[in-house]
Amino acid sequence: MSETTPAPRAYVLGAELRDAREKTGLGLRKLAAQLDVSHSVVVRWERGERVPSTESVAAVCAVLGLTTASRERLMQLARDAVSEPANTVSVGPAGEADQLAALLEFERIATAITDVSPIVVPGLLQTAEYARAIMSTGMPNGETDKLVMMRLGRREVITRKKLPIRFTAIMLEAALNQSIGGSDVMQEQLQFLLEMGERDNVDIRVIPQSAGWTPAHAGPFVLLEFAKAAPVVHLEHHRSSAFLRDEGDVSAFVTAREDIERVAMSPAASAELITDVINAKETTP
């Protein structure tokens, strides 16, 4: 595996190992000495630049005095990371599958997600019929159904009772006026946005047309934030996707998010606008 750019699961494993070590107060060199390895090896593990063997993970857990449950979880992360492709830019069905698996893991452990989706409703807030209208082109019905169910299942990170993520959805006003799936599908989708926006952990914000150009106009992106690791950006376009973890690249997207939030309507004002759009559609013959 490459030791320059951490792959998603290796990145998460390293962050978990570093957090566990720091909680014990044990320094890098002391841990390395007890493991009889160079401290630079431990540094690479914690940065996600190298995947430790399951034996090495077990040894780290033993030195740190971690519980059996924590040891098993970290060893499983190591097993998963070993089989992960080093290149996190993916194109085509096989690459999409790898990136989706990583995205699901990132969504599961994230504490906050900001989805900037300029022209469509963010995936985690899509209704079944809205998602089907987007995914059905060129797909057999059975395959579309599987993809739709998977997308709906991903919403569990928002709706789960224990530690749901903080989810912020940002859309251009134009996204509310699309006709994806037809009028009835759009009405149902907009109503669902209002319902999800009532959750304490969900903010839905609309960028008004009057805002002019914003970084959101440059394209969609998802910013994932974690309790124990630096943020990660996920980009997706047609049949390609990428994860960005370089500090400078991610920082640019954090700044873009801040710029977008300055011009986006508040959650309350956004809900009023969505309600107005629903009412206008209902009265349109």
Does pLDDT of 59 surpass 80?
Answer: yes
CA angle, 205 then 210 then 212, to 5°: 95
Per the domain annotation, does 14 fall within a domain?
A: yes
- Give the end of a domain, one of 64, 82, 100: 82
Mean pLDDT of the chain: 88
Does pLDDT of 198 surpass 80?
Answer: yes
Q: Which of 97, 106, 85, 80 is nearest to 165 (CA)?
A: 106
Q: pLDDT-derived band of residue 16, with 50, 70 and 90 as boundaries?
A: confident
Does pLDDT of 5 surpass 80?
Answer: no
Does pLDDT of 94 surpass 60?
Answer: no
68, 193: one domain: no
| 285 to 108, 147, 282: CA distances (angstroms) | 43, 33, 8
Q: pLDDT-derived band of residue 4, with 50, 70 and 90 as boundaries?
A: very low
- CATH number at 37 reads 1.10.260.40
17, 122: one domain: no
- Give the end of a domain, one of 21, 56, 82: 82
Q: Which domain, by its residues, includes 37?
A: 8-82
Q: Which of 130, 219, 208, 116 is nearest to 168 (CA)?
A: 116
CB 231 within 8 A of CB 225: yes
Amino acid in position 281: K
Total domains present in the chain: 2
Q: pLDDT-derived band of residue 87, with 50, 70 and 90 as boundaries?
A: very low
Check residue 81 and give its pLDDT: 82
Check residue 154 and give its pLDDT: 94
Q: Which comes out higher in pLDDT, residue 250 or 5? A: 250
Q: Which comes out higher in pLDDT, residue 243 or 138? A: 243
Q: Biggest alpha carbon distance in the chain?
A: 76
Check residue 96 and give its pLDDT: 62
Element at 272 (helix H, strand E)? helix 267-283
Compute the average pLDDT of residues 205-230.
93
166, 150: one domain: yes
Amino acid in position 220: P
| 185 to 107, 118, 213: CA distances (angstroms) | 26, 19, 29
Check residue 97 and give its pLDDT: 64
160, 259: one domain: yes
Q: pLDDT-derived band of residue 3, with 50, 70 and 90 as boundaries?
A: very low
Check residue 191 and give its pLDDT: 98
CA angle, 239 then 235 then 193, to 5°: 95
Q: pLDDT-derived band of residue 82, with 50, 70 and 90 as boundaries?
A: confident
Query: How many C-beta atoms lie closer than 10 Å to residue 218's C-beta?
Result: 11
Element at 237 (helix H, strand E)? strand 232-237
Q: What is the C-alpha to C-alpha distance for residues 244 and 235, in angstroms, rounded to an integer?
A: 8
Q: Which of 42, 95, 63, 80 is nearest to 237 (CA)?
A: 95
- CATH number at 130 reads 3.30.870
73, 95: one domain: no
Q: What is the C-alpha to C-alpha distance for residues 56 and 52, in angstroms, rounded to an integer?
A: 6
Check residue 230 and give its pLDDT: 83
